[in-house]
Structure 1
C-alpha cells in the first residue's frame, strides 16, 4: 500500500504544531507543508518587541526554521502560496502551477488583519503588523526618522498598545487614534479608563471615538497623517492595530464549511464538519467559548498551537479534543500590565447570565515592601451559584500574571467562595498577606451572600 500523505497549508503555529505532532506519532506518514512566506514557526506576537529593539534579531523570533523541520522528516516548501483546493480530487494547487495530492488536508492559513476601506491605506509609510517581513519593513522605515517624529497607531487592542509603546521606545511622538470609546475593548469601561489614563501619563496622545476616514498623503504619495471627523493628525509612519479576523477565503472558495464568525467550521477534533478528510487549526478556525458554548474566534498563538497538536494527534490516529477558549489574554503598555479572561460584563449580559461584579484595589506586594505598586482586580460571578464568569486585572509590575490564577479557577468551574478559600501563596515580595485575587473573590462571594 502506498504511503498516506498529509498536506498542510500554512507553516506557522497551527500548521507546524500539527505537522510536528503527526510526525512524532506516525513516522510513515508523508507530510508536505506549503508556506507562502520564507519563515516557519515564528512568533508574530514578538514582532512589536523586535521593532522596539527589545529583541535583537529576526532569527530570535523563529522557533524552528524550515531546514530544522526538514531534518525532522517534513517536506517544507517555503515561498509557496496555495491558490486552490480541489476537495473532491484531494489536490492543492500553488501559485506557480504545481499540484500536491493529499489523503488528508490541514488548513492553517492563519488570520487576516482588519483593513477598513480607507483611502491611502496602501501608501508607503502605512504598515500592518502580521508577518516578520512587516517587522523588517517598519524597522527600516523608522530607522530614518528623526527623534520626536510623529507616529500614528490606528487601534487600541493588544497589537495597537504594544506598537504604541515600542514606537515611543524608539523615540517617536506617538498618537493613538481609536474608533472606540476606550482602548482594550474586551475590558469593562472602568478598567479601560485606567489603561487610557496610563497611556496619557506615559506621554502618548489618545483620541477616542474617532474613526480614521483617510490617510493623508504628501506630494510623493507617502503617508503624512490621518484624518478623522474631528481633526487631522500628522504622522511620518502609520501603524495598523485594528484586530484580526480568520483568513478562511481559500477554504471557503474550495467549499469547506464556514461558521458564523467567518472561521472554518470544525468540531472539537479540529476536523471540518463538512469534509471528513480535511482539518483546520489556528487563527483561521471557528472555535467555541467554554462558558457560553457559543461560536468564537480568538486569534492567539496559544490556541493555534493547542489546536494544531489536537489535529496532528487525530490525523495520526490518537484521540484528542480541543476544549474551547476563555479568551484569556495579557499585555502591557509602559509599566501597566493588563490581563483579562472569561466574560466581561457586556458579554455576560449578552449571554443571558444574571451576575454580580466587584472591583477591588490592592498592591502587587506587601505595602511596606519596596516596589509595591497599585493594582485593581475585577471579578464577575453568576448570581445564585457564585460561579466565576470573568476577571480583569490592571496594575503595576507583577499584576498581570495573576490573570492565570483567575483563568484556571474559571476553567475549573470554581465559585468565588471556593477561590476565596483556596491556598494561594504569600510572601511580602510577591503579595500582601491576602493576595488581590483572594480579596476580590471574598468580596464577590460576600456580595452574593447578601
Structure 2
C-alpha cells in the first residue's frame, strides 16, 4: 500500500464521487483557485463522469440514441482543467483524524492513502435492493448509473423472452416501464402502494395509473414482491445451474401470485450511499443522508463538505430535513461547495420539493407537501382539485389538465401543488414552486401577472383557477 502526499505547499482538495455534485464542486473550486494554489484529486469508481442519470430511462427506451449524449464532461475534459481525476478507483475508508482517504483500484485491487486538506463527499445514491431471495439473480437490475444502464441494455439485447417486471412505481419505475414498452417488452409493474407515483396523493396517482394501462402496462397495486424466482421451476438447483443461463430470473412472486419475467427492473427508489460517511462517524439524518449546514459543510467538521444524492436538505415548506435525490439539487450543491472550498461564500437554503416526469404524453408534476406530509408535521389544510385545459378551450390542441392544491387552513399559505395533464402541464408547476419559495398565500397567487395568449393558456391559468378556489375555501373555513 502506498501513501500519496507532498504537495509543495499547495492545499489539496479530495473529492469522492465523479458525477454532478462532485465534479461541479471540483470545477467551481478550480475556477476560484488555480493549480498553483489548490491541487484537486477526484475519485470515481465507475467508467463515466458528469452524466445525466435522469436521462437513463430515455436512453434505455431509445429516445436518446447514444449513451455519450448523456455525458456532460468526460474525464479527459476534467483533466484538461487541472483536476487529477482517477477513474475506476473506489474510496474505501475516510480517516478524519489523519486527514486522508484510502482508495482501491477496481481493476488491480491496489490500495493507497491520499491525504487532504479539504474533503468533498459526493457519493450519490444506490438503488434500493430489497432483502429477499433471488434479488441478486442474473437478469435483475437496479438503474442508477450509466454502468447500470449499459448492463440493463446488454441484458435486454441478449434476452430471448419479452416479459419484464418492474418492481415499484415511483419516478424510476414508471419511466423504466415506459422504456421497456418502447423496447417491445410485455410489462407488468408490481407496486406496494395504492397507486403509482407515491410522490403524489393517491387521487392524482390514479390518473397516472390509467395512463399506464393505456400504454398496455399491467398495473398490480397494493402488492409487495416477496421473492425473485429463478430457473425453470421444474428442475433441481444443481440441474438449473448446469443449464445455459441457469439461475436466471424467471418470475417474481408475491404472497398470492407469480408474474413471469425474463428481466426484472428494481424501481423501488434509491437511498443515500453513505456507508463511508457512517463508518467515519459523520452525522446522518433520519433518512440516512449526511447532514450539512447552509454552506454544505458537514455538521461538526471544519474541512469536510458534502452534496448531491448523499445528503439531506431542508424542506422550506415543512421546516424539516428531507431526502430529495435530484440532479438539479446536486449541481447546485456542487456550485455552493466549490465556491466555499475555493474561498468564496455561498449557501444552499433548501428546497420546496419540485419534480416533473412523464408517461408517454402524460406530464406529471408536484411541488411542496402532499396531504400526508402536511399531516405528519401537524399542519391543517384545505384541498381543492380543478379540471382545466392547457390552452384556451377553443384553440386547437387544448388538452385536459388536473390541478390539486393544498393551502394552510386559516392562513391560506400555499402548501403544495400537483398537476397531471398533457402537453404544457408539467412545467406549470414552476409557478407554484416560486410561490412556495416566496411564502405566498393562495389569495396572493390569484393576482399573479402570468402571461396569456390562447395558444398558451386559458385567460385564467389552471394554477390560478386552483388558487381562486383554494382562497375561497380558506375564507369560508375562517368564518
Which TM bucket (shorter chain)? Answer: over 0.9
* Aligned pairs for 1:162-241 within 5 A: 162-218=175-231, 219=240, 220-241=246-267
Q: TM-score, normalised by structure 2?
A: 0.92
Correspondence 1:304 to 2:317: no
| CA distance in 1 between partners of 2:475 and 2:281 (Å) | 53
| CA distance in 2 between partners of 1:230 and 1:332 (Å) | 31
Mapped contact 2:47–2:147 kept (Cα < 8 A): no
Match of 1:420 in 2: 446
| CA distance in 1 between partners of 2:372 and 2:280 (Å) | 36
Q: Which runs of 4+ in 1 moved over 6 A?
A: none
Aligned residues: 449
Larger Rg: 2
* Aligned pairs for 1:66-81 within 5 A: 66-81=75-90
| CA distance in 1 between partners of 2:175 and 2:464 (Å) | 29
136-145 vs 18-27, greater mean Cα deviation:
136-145
Mapped contact 1:12–1:42 kept (Cα < 8 A): yes
Mapped contact 2:315–2:322 kept (Cα < 8 A): yes
Mapped contact 1:210–1:230 kept (Cα < 8 A): no
Correspondence 1:97 to 2:114: no
Correspondence 1:122 to 2:122: no
Secondary structure of 2:424 counterpart: coil
| CA distance in 1 between partners of 2:334 and 2:158 (Å) | 40
Mapped contact 1:359–1:377 kept (Cα < 8 A): yes
Correspondence 1:445 to 2:461: no
Per-residue deviation, residues 345-387 of structure 1 (Å, max 9, x unmatched): 1111111112111000001111122221111001111112211
1:437 offset after TM fit, Å? Answer: 0.8
* Structure 2 alignment gaps of length 5 or more: 1-7, 105-109, 232-239, 241-245
Match of 1:371 in 2: 397
* Aligned pairs for 1:47-62 within 5 A: 47-62=56-71
Secondary structure of 1:20 counterpart: helix
Q: Note the aligned Cα RMSD (angstroms).
A: 1.1
| CA distance in 1 between partners of 2:58 and 2:200 (Å) | 23
1:145 offset after TM fit, Å? Answer: 4.2
| CA distance in 1 between partners of 2:192 and 2:475 (Å) | 40
1:144 offset after TM fit, Å? Answer: 3.7
1:274 offset after TM fit, Å? Answer: 2.2
| CA distance in 1 between partners of 2:88 and 2:27 (Å) | 20
Correspondence 1:108 to 2:134: no
| CA distance in 2 between partners of 1:293 and 1:33 (Å) | 34
* Aligned pairs for 1:257-336 within 5 A: 257-336=283-362
* Structure 1 alignment gaps of length 5 or more: none
Secondary structure of 1:98 counterpart: strand
| CA distance in 1 between partners of 2:68 and 2:202 (Å) | 39
Correspondence 1:131 to 2:138: no
Mapped contact 1:362–1:376 kept (Cα < 8 A): yes
Secondary structure of 2:416 counterpart: strand
Mapped contact 2:318–2:369 kept (Cα < 8 A): no
| CA distance in 1 between partners of 2:337 and 2:191 (Å) | 37
